[in-house]
Amino acid sequence: MQTIGRLGGERGRSGGAGASGGSRGAVRPAGGSKRPGASGSAGNPFKTSRQPLRDPDFYDENYTDERDTTEVPGGDRLQKVLAQAGVASRRACEEMIGDGRVSVDGQTVRRFGARVDPAKQIIRVDGKRIPTSSETVYYALNKPIGVVSTMDDPDGRPCLNDYVQDLAPRLFHVGRLDTETEGLLLLTNDGELAHRLTHPSYGVQKKYWAKVPGPVARDLHKVLRKGVELEDGLAKVDEFRVVQEHGQQALVEVILHEGRKHIVRRLMETVGHRVIDLARIEFGPVKLGRLKPGTIRTLTVQEIGDLYAAVGL
């Protein structure tokens, strides 16, 4: 790495006798090779070999710039993309950029006028990915009882397409809920995210509330966490608790990350508590909240970022 002192020394030596074409040749070796001390880009693609002169009173001798390689000529301004994604107002987004809170393809960008391609580049704020492509959509549906978790039903039963047909083409439902189960169902056209959210290796938890016959044994949570043998193998919960008991019925909370067919119903029936009613109230970081049955809403930027983080995107 060239320092200001070394550069100054070379200039001093070349500024003596014969500071003409010959002396320049002494500083710039023949054959187009790099200058001594210049660092190449092999070690770090963001570092350049030519660094500008700097006042040593203000810069450490080993200081180098990280050159911005994220610029897309003719692209959209970064603060505009963030504002359109719902992160904050454009002015607030400019402050985020200036504070170094925004990265594009892994590189921190501090320039207000930076231009990016929101459809191809990955943009993060405070380390969380932001959904910037106008083509990807993310929804939460409170699936009612009696609705089939498919986009089409040959028997003519109510299905998911009845609720999303006017929203976007080619939506994926993230996992399934059986016909008699209500609650939170995610829908998106982001295929990679949908795949990861449903794959058990990513361990995304789902939370259910189930109404079962009571009373519930106090040590049932130990049995379920240790595992129960079903016809298709051992199944166990991540967490289990009794929310409330009233007379001969109880409301229990079941949290697990696997998605085998009718897994909650089969688990509870095996331990002697046949499920009367079942609802999914959370999928990873997304909560059902007060969303009424049969209604749908767009996920927030925070929720989408949390989903990306949950599966390592």
Q: Which residues are catalytic?
A: 178
CA distances from 295 to 54, 135, 302 (A): 61, 22, 20
Q: Show the tokens assigned to 53.
A: 């002169």
Residue 240 β-bridge partners: 254
Phi first, then psi: give them for residue 190, nearest 5 degrees. Answer: -90, 95
Find the largest Cα–Cα distance for the chain: 104
CB 56 within 8 A of CB 62: no
Amino acid at 222: K
Question: What is the edge-to-edge ordering of all strands in the sheet holding 128-129?
Answer: 107-108, 102-104, 123-125, 128-129
In a 13 Å sphere around the CA of 98, the CA atoms on its Cβ side amount to 7
Pairwise CA distance, residues 189 & 180, whole Å? 25
Residue type, 296: I
Closest CA to 62 of 39, 46, 82: 39
The torsion region of residue 183 among left (phi > 0), alpha (psi -120 to 50) and beta comes to: left
Radius of gyration of the chain (CA): 30
* Inter-axis angle of helices 301-310 and 191-198, nearest 10: 60
Q: Would you tell me how many other CB atoms lie within 10 Å of the CB of residue 58? A: 7
> What gap in Å lies between CA 85 and CA 133, rounded to an integer?
8
- Residue 206's DSSP bridge partners are 256, 283
**Are 146 and 158 within 8 A, CB to CB?**
yes
